[in-house]
Structure 1
């Protein structure tokens, strides 16, 4: 009865796959968590035995929206890291070369068809988007409907089997095995790097700072009498700022030229360590109440100035004239929805979101020197979104012939490139193209999982056949394809590129586009230093790996 209901109303099978799949994907076994995509696919493969099928049109629309949103959110970081982020970006190139080589070796040794080869690529590289680009490529091979359906089903089955083993492999490699190979204590090394970047201690899991990095105090001037505000602030590297001055019950505007007098009461804000050192130089701390309340603002600013790309926060502050950077402090740095340490030694990239703290006037001035303020909005620019997807579809129809193989990006590759372009345009011209991060995340999550559920339902009948045909070979191949580029990057990154171990391991997790791996890694290190390397390779690999789908399909079909 249930099977007949699912076949008659496939929308029930679709939403059941999403609901049950995300429930399964939420369970954790140590550092391993399948995630909603893999969970959805497993449930869809089971429910697909009922004969439930989703319209191909819905599947194509869902994938187009997902891949465009993926490119849109990663566009600023992708273009920012081409060239200047070459040390980390080189690891994404290593990933591409080694993965393709290993997949083609598996095609030769195991006599894999194009669909199984593409699924092995998607699972071994733990990149779900490859399923969509490879499925489209198979649809353009000119095969009959039955053979096309069989090869597309093989993509999904090979992915589901190899992904599980690839996921476990990359999580354990990044967080456990790689530090053993390098003979380093990962937590101690991460603390060392944290301090090198200007941090004063690392946080363990579940800990928060009892003493926040940005603080303010009300002081009575004694020792600093006769000194100007500008002189005092310069002495402490512009890491403190006098916000208010009370003299003879009158509030005086705090400006660099103002000379303090004994008995003045001042409100000083800034970085905690600098303020602690400044207190005895200025005077003595007193109870609050004498000065009017001072309110600070927190605003998110998209960094767009090319001359600041690649500089550390300390270097960026040093380049700014004291009067322009006065009273502005960076509380957080967000890159690709990941928070990285906002330390003096942290490098910033174009496309980063900097959270500025200070009074309204100072923050507005600082934002104008960095980029533009991201205004809170819940509205999506559907004109921009629609034009982007249309351009992606048009680009996807273009094809070139190389070595006897027709290479076409398809809707997936075209929408990915269009998303990159439109995301970059949005970062340069913020008045157009609004796509709030929450809306973009919904497009990515729902679009990908709807697509995955649709192809899983259609592949259900062929899944058991492929597993019986190859047996343990597919899981082993998935492990090798995951481990190969990780080992190569470990050697190249450590001994050739001289990368710090926490950032290197984060970059290896990023080149595999593995969120579970970076989560496990951060848990082991006790701080966010691995995220610095992760965001760069994640941005690049999220673009490069999906484009390999049509390439592998074309090469495997010629070899088969």
Structure 2
């Protein structure tokens, strides 16, 4: 009776797969968590045994929206890191070359078909988007409907088998085994790097500083008497600002050329460590209850200035004119929806979201100099979104034949490239193409989950056959496809690129597109320094790996 109900109303099977799959994926064993997508796939494979099927059009629409949103949100960071982030970007190239080589060795040695080979790539690299680009590539190989469905089912089955083992391997490798191979105490190393970047203490994931990084303190001018406001601020690297001045009971306007006199009361705001270091050169600290609040505004600003790309926070402040940078502080840096340390030594990339704090006039001035304010909006520009998907579909129709190997981008690859382009245009011209981050996340999450549920339901009957045919060979190959590129990147990153261990391991987690791995790393290190390396390789691999789906299908179809 249940089978008949699911066959007659497949939408029940879809939402059952989502609900139960995300519930199953939410369970955590140590640092290992399957996640909602893999959980949905497993449940859909089981429900697929009932014969429930979703319309192919729904699957295609869901994947097109997902892959476009993926490219759209990653576009600014992708283009920003192609050139100047080459040290980390090289690790993504290592990942691509290594996994393609290993897949082709497995294809020849095990006589894998195109679907199984693509599923291995998707699972071992923990990149679900490969399922879509590879499925579409298989549909263009010219096989009959039954053979096409069989190969597409093999993608899903090989993915589900190799994903679990790939996930466990990358989490344990980055957080446990790699530090042993490097012979470092990862927590101590992360604290050292944190201090090198200008931090004054290590903060773990989810922790907050007992004392805030930006503070305000009142002083009675002593040693600073005879100095101008500008010279005092310049002496301490513009990491503090004289915000308010009171002389003989009267409040004076603070100008850069204002001369401080003995006995003046001043309210100084800025980075805590700078104010602590400057205290002896300012005078006696006094209660400042009668002063007003100095941090009155907070703005999220998208960094678009090309000359600021690659500069550290400290360098950006040093190069700014005093009248531009005065009173403006970067409290947080968000990159690809991940928060990285906003420390003096942190490198900034075009497309980063900088959280500026300070007086209202100061942060508005700083926003105009750095980029554009990220306006909180719930409206989506559907004209821009629809045009982007249409352009992606047009690009996806391009195909070619290289060395007898048929290659076609398909709608998935086309929408990914279109999303990159439209996301980059949006970052340069922010008045068009609004796609709020919450809306983009819904498109990515629901689009991918719906697509995965649809292919899982259709693959159900063939899944058991493939597992019986290859047995433990698929998990073994999946583990190798994590370890080999991981070890290569570890060696190249340490010996040739001289990367610090926390950032290097974060980059290895990113080249595998593994969110659980970076979460485990942040927990082990005690601070967010690994995220700096993670965001760059994640942005690159998240785009390059899905484009490898059609390549693997073409190569496996010829040599498998």
Corresponding residue SS for 1:432: coil
**Gapped runs of 5+ residues in structure 1?**
none
2:350 corresponds to which residue? 350
Aligned pairs for 1:56-75 within 5 A? 56-75=56-75
Q: Are residues 1:539 and 2:539 paired?
A: yes
- Choose 279-288 or 367-376, whichever is displaced more: 279-288
**Gapped runs of 5+ residues in structure 2?**
none
How far did 1:205 drift?
Answer: 5.2
Q: Structure 1 residues 94, 183: CA separation in 2 closer, same or farther (over 3 Å shift)? A: same
How far did 1:225 drift?
Answer: 2.5
How far did 1:206 drift?
Answer: 5.3
Corresponding residue SS for 2:430: coil
Corresponding residue SS for 1:108: helix
How far did 1:226 drift?
Answer: 2.4
How far did 1:249 drift?
Answer: 3.5
Cα distance in 2 between the residues matched to 1:347 and 1:400: 40
State the Cα deviation string for residues 310-341 of structure 1 (Å, max 9, x = none).
11111111111122111111111111000111
How far did 1:150 drift?
Answer: 0.4
Corresponding residue SS for 1:101: helix
1:10 corresponds to which residue? 10
Q: Are residues 1:263 and 2:259 paired?
A: no
Q: Contact conserved, 2:204 with 2:522, CA < 8 A, in 1?
A: no
Aligned pairs for 1:225-374 within 5 A? 225-374=225-374
1:558 corresponds to which residue? 558
How far did 1:218 drift?
Answer: 2.2
1:415 corresponds to which residue? 415
1:442 corresponds to which residue? 442
State the Cα deviation string for residues 473-531 of structure 1 (Å, max 9, x = none).
11111111111111111111111111111111100000000000000111111111111
Q: Structure 1 residues 546, 292: CA separation in 2 closer, same or farther (over 3 Å shift)? A: closer
Cα distance in 1 between the residues matched to 2:520 and 2:26: 15
2:221 corresponds to which residue? 221
How far did 1:292 drift?
Answer: 4.0
Q: Contact conserved, 1:265 with 1:291, CA < 8 A, in 2?
A: no
Q: Contact conserved, 1:70 with 1:419, CA < 8 A, in 2?
A: yes
**TM-score normalised according to structure 1 size:** 0.98
State the Cα deviation string for residues 224-258 of structure 1 (Å, max 9, x = none).
23221111111111111011112344322211011
2:96 corresponds to which residue? 96
Cα distance in 2 between the residues matched to 1:299 and 1:463: 51
1:105 corresponds to which residue? 105
The root-mean-square deviation of aligned C-alpha atoms, in Å, is: 1.1
Cα distance in 2 between the residues matched to 1:481 and 1:262: 69
Corresponding residue SS for 2:343: coil
1:192 corresponds to which residue? 192
Cα distance in 1 between the residues matched to 2:132 and 2:205: 37
State the Cα deviation string for residues 276-334 of structure 1 (Å, max 9, x = none).
22233222222234334445211111111111111111111111112211111111111
2:397 corresponds to which residue? 397
- Choose 205-214 or 108-117, whichever is displaced more: 205-214
Cα distance in 2 between the residues matched to 1:72 and 1:496: 33
Q: Structure 1 residues 453, 307: CA separation in 2 closer, same or farther (over 3 Å shift)? A: same
- Choose 62-71 or 320-329, whichever is displaced more: 320-329
1:126 corresponds to which residue? 126
State the Cα deviation string for residues 135-161 of structure 1 (Å, max 9, x = none).
000000111100000000000000000
Corresponding residue SS for 1:386: helix
Q: Contact conserved, 1:246 with 1:291, CA < 8 A, in 2?
A: no
Q: Contact conserved, 1:224 with 1:282, CA < 8 A, in 2?
A: yes
Q: Contact conserved, 2:200 with 2:273, CA < 8 A, in 1?
A: no
1:165 corresponds to which residue? 165
Corresponding residue SS for 2:84: coil
Q: Contact conserved, 2:64 with 2:411, CA < 8 A, in 1?
A: yes
- Choose 144-153 or 197-206, whichever is displaced more: 197-206
Cα distance in 1 between the residues matched to 2:187 and 2:38: 31
Q: Contact conserved, 1:392 with 1:414, CA < 8 A, in 2?
A: yes
How far did 1:129 drift?
Answer: 0.2
Corresponding residue SS for 2:83: coil
Q: Structure 1 residues 26, 431: CA separation in 2 closer, same or farther (over 3 Å shift)? A: same
Q: Contact conserved, 2:96 with 2:545, CA < 8 A, in 1?
A: yes
Cα distance in 2 between the residues matched to 1:74 and 1:206: 25
Cα distance in 1 between the residues matched to 2:327 and 2:93: 42
